[in-house]
Amino acid sequence: MAAPVYLFTGFLDSGKTTLIKDTLCDEDFMRGTDRTLIICLEQGEVEYTNEFLDAHNTFIEFLDASTQLTVERMRELDTIYHPNQVFIEYNGSESVSETLLSGMPDFWPLVEILTTVDASTFGNYINNMRSLMFEQLRYSDVVICNRCTEDTSGSLLRGNIKAINRRAQIFYEGNFGEPVNLKGGTLPFDKSKPLIDIKDDDYGLWYMDASEHPDDYEGKSIILRGAYAEPLQKHPNSFVLGRRAMVCCSEDTALCGITVTGVKVKALKKNAWYEVEGNLKTVPVADGKTLVLYASAIRNYNAPTDEFVYFS
């Protein structure tokens, strides 16, 4: 049976080992997994003790460089340890190799790349070592920004990370994985403004926040951009505007849409993209409230290069 591979990268002492150890202690993640192999290419201050490894039925191999991690070596390690999953603790000063990106064997498929970022040093690194940060972030599925404090700039972190890799999911944590509330918040837009302009990359975050806190947007003026998804048969002047989010692949998607009303639907084209400006109002639904956009203006809009929604 194939053993999924999780690649952990980031600068030395950015929290890779701590993240791996926390993952091994996560009962939900580890359910159904009884043998883990860690391939360690970089050792920091946090160590794996024999007692910890034994308690989690985990084995470890130390390599000096990623060039040693050939398909032949992977096959050898698979034969020796028979792991259910593999964690690779990568050297953050190395670029992720083509072998790991596209040449992994069928018995060890790469399923996720996670990057740890020390928020306290991020500004210095992004200004002085941007090329190295680029290599760490550009393929990441998940970015964990740790050592955040209330005064950490979420916009600095998110803006730079998204400029390198727009599809990455970003999480903000304090020391040792503790939750933290950033003073400036983590939303890339200010919902207290009289007119909220939601950019393409921010639609997913807006949709999630609006779904959870519809009352925050009651009476707000807003600009949204999306595709004409479907008409509302019982409401001739209304349609659903939205974007699609990947559930597991590009063939499996879910619509993140909002009802727009007060428009001439017959003048619109299915699947065409529009920019809609108007006011939001809450309306009751079976499980609470939802938002409806009462349009005051609608304009043609060019679809973005990446039409999918991301939630970070």
Q: How confident is the model at residue 181 (pLDDT cuts 50, 70, 90)?
A: confident
């409401």: which residue's tokens? Answer: 235
Strand partners, 58: 36
Residue 93 gets the label, from left (phi > 0), alpha (psi -120 to 50) or beta, of: alpha
Residue 177 — pLDDT band, cuts 50, 70, 90? confident
CA–CA separation, 304 and 273 (whole Å): 9
> Strand, helix or coil at 145?
strand
Helix, strand and coil in the chain, % to nearest 5: 30, 30, 40
Percentage of residues in the chain with pLDDT exceeding 70? 98
Per-residue confidence band for 32, with pLDDT thresholds at 50, 70 and 90: confident
Strands, DSSP E only, in the chain? 5-9, 36-40, 58-62, 85-89, 110-118, 142-146, 169-172, 195-197, 221-231, 238-249, 252-261, 273-285, 288-300
Tokens of 205: 């975050």
Q: Is residue 43 scored above 90 in pLDDT? A: no
Q: Express each pLDDT in 286-299 by its tens digit.
A: 888 999 999 999 99
Dig out the tokens for 139 from the structure: 């393929």
Decide: 148 and 180 in contact? Cβ < 8 Å.
yes
CA 54 to chain CA centroid, Å, is 32
Residue 250, pLDDT above cutoff 70? no
Reported as a single tens digit per residue, the pLDDT across 88-145 is: 999 988 889 888 998 999 999 999 999 999 999 998 988 888 888 899 999 999 999 9
Cα separation values, 235 from 98, 150, 195, 267, Å? 53, 46, 27, 15
Domains of the chain: 5-177 (3.40.50.300), 195-300 (2.40.50.140)
Task: Print burial letters for 9-18: b (CB count within 10 Å at least 16), e (below 16).
Answer: bbbebbbbbb
For 73, phi then psi, to 5°, come to -70, -40
pLDDT exceeds 90 at position 187: no
Q: In the predicted model, what is the mean pLDDT of residues 16-27?
A: 94
**Average confidence (pLDDT) over 215-237:** 92
Q: Is the confidence at residue 156, as pLDDT, over 80?
A: yes
CB 304 within 8 A of CB 200: yes
- d(C-alpha 292, C-alpha 281), whole Å: 5
